[in-house]
A and B are shown apart, each in its own frame.
Chain A
Amino acid sequence: MNLLETKELSKSFGETHAVDKVDFQIQEGEVLSLIGSNGAGKTSMVNLISGLLHPDSGRIVFRGQDITTLPVHGRIKAGIARSFQIVNLFDELTLHDNVALSIFSRRGMTRRLFTLADRHHEVWDEALEILRQFGWRRSARSWPASSRRVSASCSTWRSPTHSSRSSFSSTSPPAG
């Protein structure tokens, strides 16, 4: 079974066909790069898969489940994560907070109003472990979040076995 599949996926902005009947499949463990010039529709494609945009037509299937009409949080629950071309973080939260928040969300704990976030040591420890995997050696408690490496760390929150998950980012190749 394909991990992710799009079927005749299309999206137009006025007269511009940003994504035009695109079919592709990704298998589990496969790494796929989407390369193209500025305006080729890479980001639109990633936006369609992650749910930021809704397609005009076509289908998106993830792990056999049709996610075309799922909202963003539904797709994230299904196991899709994305990072952004421009570093996109919670600037006023620390590096540790940024990653921990993703873990709180995955565990469905962000709905808790009457419990101190700091008391959940298992979440902070897991966040620290993820940061270590990305080369953050020092304590990240007080560091401001401001780098792409942090963004990538945050996209890894989905699961300790993230090889079975999909993570997206769209970046244009350098000019020339």
Chain B
Amino acid sequence: MTGGTDGLRVPTPKLLGVVTGEHEDKIEFLSHGYYHYVLVVFILCVALMWLIVHSPFGKALQAIRDNETRARFVGIQIRRYRLVAFLVSGVFTGIAGALWVPLNGLTTPDILYWPFSGEIVFMAVLGGFRNFTGPIVGAVVFNYLKTYAVGFTVYWQALLGLVLVVLVVVLPTGIVGTAKLLAAAARRRSAQ
């Protein structure tokens, strides 16, 4: 039923019953019709996420992240808010997974192992998880890095791990965080 270790083969999907890949080349469909479909869902999700981050609930989550004790004394029920945050995260991750599987064409137990989840964490750290755009920038840069690393060496995971260690030490706020710090420093210098 699940295909065991071979996993499940996922057929080319029909999109909203309108855009269909049935009568065209699969590669053509995935790189055009499906690509634009994913892009639209991505934009909608980013807009929704932006709203949540800038909502009173989002402010409460930032408060919990910054200072849990203080947040408790502001009247925020930490566990309940974390549970909701976990659910929200699960919804977006579920959507991402559902979009990714048709592209891969196959889903296997391998993707349940930690390295796949680790890649998502890597993207967030790389871009800067304290900035809204950080993980988006991180995802783009990570995919470029991975593509080049895979072509460069068979030990590409070790190479990416090394990059991650260097990042945490040198750029703890990620690419976007560092860019913002540099921009703020430049503004201060020009104001003096």
Q: Which residues of A contact B (CB under 8 A)?
A: 50, 52, 71-73, 76-77, 81-82, 84, 88-93, 97, 100-102, 104-106, 109-118, 120, 154, 157
Docked CA distance A34–B54 (Å): 40
Q: Which residues of B contact A (CB under 8 A)?
A: 51-52, 54-60, 62-63, 66-67, 69-77, 81, 84, 88, 130
- With A73-B75, A76-B73 as contacts: A105 and B60 at CB distance below 8 Å: yes
Majority secondary structure of chain B interface residues (helix, strand, loop or mixed)? helix
Instruction: Find chain B residues with CB under 8 A from A72 CB.
Output: 72-73, 75
- The answer to whether B73 touches A82, judged by C-beta atoms less than 8 angstroms apart, is yes
- The answer to whether B52 touches A114, judged by C-beta atoms less than 8 angstroms apart, is yes
- The answer to whether B67 touches A73, judged by C-beta atoms less than 8 angstroms apart, is no
CB closest residue in chain B, given A120: B56
- With A73-B76, A82-B73, A102-B74 as contacts: A92 and B59 at CB distance below 8 Å: no
**CB < 8 Å neighbour of A104 from B54, B56, B73, B88:** B56
Distance in angstroms from A85 CB to nearest chain B CB is: 12
Docked CA distance A77–B59 (Å): 19
Instruction: Find chain B residues with CB under 8 A from A89 CB.
Output: 67, 70
- The answer to whether A90 touches B66, judged by C-beta atoms less than 8 angstroms apart, is yes
- With A91-B66, A91-B67 as contacts: A154 and B74 at CB distance below 8 Å: yes
